[in-house]
Amino acid sequence: MITADAWSKTPTTALIVLADGTVIEGKGIGASGSAPGEVCFNTAITGYEEILTDPSYAGQIITFTFPHIGNVGTNEDDIETVNMAAASGVRGIILRADITQPSNYRASRHFDAWLKARGIIGITGIDTRALTAIIREKGMPNGIICHAPDGQFDLDDLKAKAKAFSGLEGLDLAKDVTSPQTYEWDETTWKWDEGFGKQTDTRHHVVAMDFGVKRNILRLLADQGCRVTVVPATASAEEILAHNPDGVFLSNGPGDPAATGEYAVPTIRKLIERDLPIFGICLGHQMLALALGAKTTKMHQGHHGANHPVSDFTTGKVEITSMNHGFAVDTDTLPEGVEETHRSLFDGTNCGLRVTGKPIFSVQHHPEASPGPQDSLYLFKRFMEVIEESKKVAA
């Protein structure tokens, strides 16, 4: 059993119970209740609000390796979820230290109150180093997080539910976080003393397939002079082509790409056949690979953080990137005519591809830098260059 830290004198009001029976005690924060999920760890030291509103985390319980989470409060500008009607994707959070009062001028709400409002269960006072070591050694375990303010738990029931959770393999979670309808997006990125802007001078029309898209991705497309039309994950190729797009964007998202691919891959294949410029990120990268004939695999511990080094073979440079994924494209299954463009320098997994002779490419990491470094922002410009070249060829 991993117990609460010795310095914590508060009674146990929250538990993490892993599928193997491991019980972790601590103090509850946020919403009350229980939720099963896959337990991962995230190494970012900032941007917790963006992380917790990233739909790609649906079905997961996040262990933050940075000890001080929540101390700058929350605000409305850092929310990444577009579909506010959907339930919060993340199942729970695991923290080392207690939350202090907000200490940032941008804060509009205490972190604990924000967690309650979004229905996110949290636990503090945990030896997150020990838990991270377990994940690194044994892989991402299934578990259940429970917060009971009265300290009363049915441990046998929690162990049974943790063991019964099926995990993320085979789960299509994009359907839970995608927008239910088509909409237009014109908001641009945030600027000091100005806030978010609005794009009124558009040069290209991009249709974005929403598998759990983040706001800052859409803002960066708008920054590039795009009129952005966002369509649900289940949109057909005919529905997408009816918008007469100059390019198609495949968004990030949660769950098993093979499961979401049951309905999305046939659509993507039809778009590939039309030689439309296509740019994919994260889940979009994985499903593009599936549509091209490659395979994806479940990772041991996944990639979650804002400090992941990636080698870009197209530029010869190393980028520090933001990542959030538990599945990866199997490089050995990339078919002829599909080239690997990026690779993780942590474990050698595939992080990017492009199709020879076609205006199609994708990356595994999150170049929108929300949160994270901005090393990969050039990819949005590259997408525009591909679109412009495609227009010249068509003319």
**Can you give the pLDDT at residue 386?**
97
pLDDT digit string, tens, across residues 216-244: 999 999 999 999 999 999 999 999 999 99
On whether both 271 and 138 belong to a single domain, the answer is no
Asked about 187 being catalytic, the answer comes back as no
Do 266 and 290 touch, CB atoms closer than 8 A?
A: no
36 Cβ partners below 8 Å, 6+ apart? Answer: 91, 142, 143, 144, 161, 162, 164, 165
**Can you give the pLDDT at residue 89?**
81
Do 173 and 255 touch, CB atoms closer than 8 A?
A: yes
Per-residue pLDDT at 86 exceeds 60:
no
Measured between alpha carbons, how far is 41 from 135 in angstroms, rounded to an integer?
8
On whether both 320 and 357 belong to a single domain, the answer is yes
On whether both 207 and 273 belong to a single domain, the answer is yes
Q: Residue 122's domain is classified under what CATH number? A: 3.50.30.20
Mean pLDDT, the chain, rounded, equals 95
Sequential DSSP letters for 54-93: -GGGTTEEEEESSS--STT-B-STT--BS-TTSPPS--EE
pLDDT band at 88 (very low <50, low <70, confident <90, very high): low
- Domain housing 214: 174-394
What are the Cα distances from residue 167, in Å, to 61, 162, 189, 359? 12, 10, 35, 36
pLDDT digit string, tens, across residues 280-311: 999 999 999 999 999 999 999 999 999 999 99
pLDDT digit string, tens, across residues 368-382: 999 999 999 999 999
**Can you give the pLDDT at residue 73?**
97
Residue 122 belongs to what H/E stretch? strand 121-124
Asked about 282 being catalytic, the answer comes back as yes
Name the catalytic one among 40, 282, 319, 351: 282
pLDDT band at 394 (very low <50, low <70, confident <90, very high): confident
Q: What is the dihedral of CA 119, 250, 369, 388, to 10 degrees?
A: -150
Q: What is the pTM of this model?
A: 0.96
Is 169 part of any domain? no
**Can you give the pLDDT at residue 158?**
98
Q: Residue 244's domain is classified under what CATH number? A: 3.40.50.880
Domain boundary among 129, 164, 199: 164
Asked about 366 being catalytic, the answer comes back as yes
DSSP 148: -
Strands 247-250 and 278-281: parallel
